[in-house]
Homo-oligomer: A and B are copies of this chain.
Amino acid sequence: MSDPFFHPVSGFDLPRFAGVPSFMRLPHVPLDHPRLSEVQLGLVGVPWDSGTTNRPGPRHGPRQLRDASTMIRAQHGVTGLRPFEMVNCADLGDVGPNPADIPDSMARITAFFDDLRGHGITPLTAGGDHLTSLPVLRALAKDAPLGMVHFDSHTDLFHSYFGGTMYTHGTPFRRAVEEGLLDPARVVQIGIRGTAYDSEDRDFARSVGIRVIPIEEFHARGTADVMAEARQIVGDAPTYVSYDIDFVDPAFAPGTGTPEVGGPNSHQALEVVRALHGLNIAGADLVEVSPPFDPGGGTAFLGVSIMFELLCVMAPAIAGAGPAAS
């Protein structure tokens, strides 16, 4: 049972439009907060988009996601689960990037997540573009490579862009495999679609044993079947979940920089997360929400709905694993 200090403010008490907006209306517990070590599941913003090759904007994602998250309530609509009562959750604030220096930003992000790891906090990250996942994995996979369930319309496995640039939002998982942060045999990428430059990324996937499930296969087989295979691929060992909002069709998630049409709807967008229950999740992220391309904010609301689903599969496992460090 979690400590009431870590419970979100209810809309029955304070209207949802009121108050300084933190993720899910949880207490804001920055790294220097006296109760940091009690946190078990930490929501973190990484406002950063320096790896973006086309339309920037995800640096503004965490703020819009916090705003939209004030519409999330305490109890899961289908399962009745109340995650905030199971583990101590908190908004740990944002990692401060250097928007004009990619290596400096990556070092800052890794340091932040190293710190969380030192406190035994499982992170749920709100990006930021997809390059964000790389410095996060450098912290989380320091000791051993992780498996990964990756929802996206792109593989993000390219070698380089623009004549040799190695760090963009199209390359993070190529780097992560090269650096030994991911175990390719335990990586599955779901929803891949859209036009392609060429097959270099998929050739790499094949060569290292990453399983790619294109959208055509996803639509043909259905959520349940695909997710059963995904669970089998990652198994019981520690697994990272990386969710690019462009996995979802742009009618449901227009606010992103590299949309691809023909994707899943919002119901499927939630179902695939719910199917991860019971996995050993070492951390998760939701990336590529780009407010400038969605003034209505629907993408951000879908984004936090997905984050709540992630939280609902992460919290029981953490709760089962015993209390946080104190």
A residues bordering B, Cβ < 8 Å? 10-22, 28, 45, 47, 49-57, 59-60, 62-63, 66-67, 71-78, 80, 91, 93-102, 104, 161-163, 165, 167-168, 192-199, 214-216, 219, 249-252, 254, 258-263, 265-267, 269-270, 292-296, 298, 301-302, 305, 308
Do A214 and B77 have beta carbons less than 8 Å apart?
A: yes
Prevailing SS type, chain A contact patch: loop
Do A71 and B258 have beta carbons less than 8 Å apart?
A: yes
Give chain B residues whose Cβ lies under 8 Å from the Cβ of A215.
Answer: 77, 267
Within the complex, what minimum Cβ distance (angstroms) separates A48 from chain B? 9
Give chain B residues whose Cβ lies under 8 Å from the Cβ of A167.
Answer: 100
Do B254 and A263 have beta carbons less than 8 Å apart?
A: no
Q: A20-B91, A262-B266, A270-B261 are in contact. Are A54 and B162 (CB under 8 A)?
A: no
Do A72 and B195 have beta carbons less than 8 Å apart?
A: yes
Give chain B residues whose Cβ lies under 8 Å from the Cβ of A51.
Answer: 100
Do A17 and B54 have beta carbons less than 8 Å apart?
A: yes
8 A-B residue pairs with CB within 8 Å: A18-B45, A20-B28, A53-B100, A71-B258, A75-B199, A98-B163, A215-B267, A251-B266
Do A266 and B270 have beta carbons less than 8 Å apart?
A: no
Do A197 and B162 have beta carbons less than 8 Å apart?
A: no
Give chain B residues whose Cβ lies under 8 Å from the Cβ of A194.
Answer: 73, 77
